[in-house]
Amino acid sequence: MTEPASVMQILLQFIEAVLLVYLGGTALYLLVFSVAALKPFRPKWPSPESTKRFALIFPCYKEDEVIFQVIEDALEHNYPKEFFDVVVVADGFRPDTIEKLRTYPIVLFAKNFEISTKTRAINYALRHLDDSAYEAVCILDADNLMADDFLLKMNQALSAGNVAVQGHRMAKNLNTHFAVLDAVSEEINNRIFRKGQRVLGLSSALIGSAMAFDFRFFKNLMADVEVVGGFDKELELRMLSSGIVIDYVDDAYVFDEKVQNARVFTRQRRRWLSAQYHYFGKHFLPAVKALFVDRNIEYFNKAFQYLQLPRLLLLGILFLMAVVSTIFGNHLCTICWLSSFIIIFLAIVLAVPRSFYNKNTLTAIIRLPMVFGYMLLSLLRIKGANKQFIHTKHTYNAFQKKRRR
């Protein structure tokens, strides 16, 4: 008969093996796309034969402080003025802000929703815009500033036959350590889940703003979408499950405000984690079925990503497991855990743009153990976060766009 101690030892070894496959496999998965992103990705699209008319939709909730800077910048965008409208959905704004907004040459929808969500604001605009007036729509956040050639590049991408295109969203502020870490995280996402995936022939991930779509396609896609958080995940899962490719334009820039303190960081990550695991539970089994029945690799790949831990948690846990295994484990396990830690470390290092290799980033990295703690806290408190609207308030930032043509 097997001794109880032996049974416990076998059980612990089995759990360790499962964890190693899960965590180490995730690290290797990320490294593959990180390496792929080192290759240039520049689709050879023909010059557009026509200029599409865009609706630039800004779904805004209580953004009185930043909205004027954003719409003034958008109105001066380097795209034929008669071929785009700035559309602002002003939810929960002060009366004086609404009155001032009415003086601008924009399409304004002043609406106080009983339950405020991004999807409700966007759908409200889509229902009230004239379908025949627009060929394309671009979704932007209330703090987003477009680089001068953003719409020109979105027009080229859509004119090439794409119906969904993600632009390159990047930081417009690096004024705190948390803003630097948030900016680095977004650039890693751009490299791995957008550029890296496109290099290997998969669709780009969406990010919630800096996105352009064929107008009628997007209106039909959004018609029955009603989610509180993670609407970008809902959109990409619907498209990928239907075999629709999401393209990516790496040099079409939109500048976005990064979180500046621990409180906002924790709240934002809690919302993202909740949405991620909600969509994993909803779509993983259908995605597995689609993989074997329809050979839909795209849909499965996306659902599989929602199974993964956030990179910082993955890095921290693999480091801790490598240390514990070195002290208490056997030689083979130690090698496996150390190898997994090295793999995720390389995946992250290769995905960080060279522009972030500076003193400010190094100083911010010192805060990583504290951020790791906040991420753990977010993971433990994700229950219910996807069922309530959690607003990330933006602030006025005296930011001068870098002109990119």
Taking the C-alpha atoms of residue 253 and residue 276, their distance in angstroms, rounded to an integer, is 25
Neighbouring C-beta atoms of residue 102, cutoff 10 Å: 10
Identify whether 245 is part of a domain.
Answer: yes
Q: Are residues 302 and 345 in the same domain?
A: yes
pLDDT in tens, the chain (405 residues): 556 668 888 888 888 899 999 999 999 999 999 999 999 888 888 888 889 999 999 999 988 888 999 999 999 999 999 999 999 999 999 999 999 999 999 999 998 888 888 999 999 999 999 999 999 999 999 999 999 999 999 999 999 999 999 999 999 988 888 899 889 999 999 999 999 999 999 999 999 999 999 999 999 999 988 877 778 998 999 999 999 999 999 999 999 998 777 777 777 777 777 778 778 888 889 999 999 999 999 999 999 998 888 888 899 999 999 999 888 878 888 999 999 999 999 999 999 999 999 999 988 888 888 877 777 776 666 665 555 555 555 565 545 454 343
Identify whether 215 is part of a domain.
Answer: yes
Report H helices in 294-358.
297-305, 311-328, 331-351
Q: Are residues 73 and 211 in the same domain?
A: yes
Q: Are residues 186 and 84 in the same domain?
A: yes
**Tokens in use for 224?**
């029955």
What CATH number is associated with residue 62? 3.90.550.10
pTM of whole model > 0.85?
Answer: yes
Q: Are residues 210 and 135 in the same domain?
A: yes
Q: Are residues 117 and 254 in the same domain?
A: yes
Q: Are residues 278 and 237 in the same domain?
A: no
**Tokens in use for 141?**
């956040």
Cβ burial 21-39 (10 Å sphere, 16+ → b, else e): eebbebbebbbebbbbbee
Q: Are residues 134 and 240 in the same domain?
A: yes
Is 157:247 a contact under the CB 8 Å cutoff?
yes
Going by DSSP bridges, is the β-strand pair 211-214/136-139 parallel, antiparallel, or unpaired? antiparallel
Q: Are residues 97 and 66 in the same domain?
A: yes
Sheet of strand 145-146, all strands in order from the earlier edge strand to the far edge: 107-110, 84-91, 54-61, 136-139, 211-214, 164-171, 247-256, 145-146
Q: Are residues 275 and 133 in the same domain?
A: no
Count structural domains, the chain.
2
Identify whether 45 is part of a domain.
Answer: no
Taking the C-alpha atoms of residue 398 and residue 263, their distance in angstroms, rounded to an integer, is 23
Q: Are residues 203 and 274 in the same domain?
A: no
Identify whether 160 is part of a domain.
Answer: yes
- Domain extent at residue 342: 17-38+270-387
Beta partners for 88? Answer: 58, 108
Identify whether 47 is part of a domain.
Answer: no
Phi, psi (deg, nearest 5) at residue 366: -60, -25
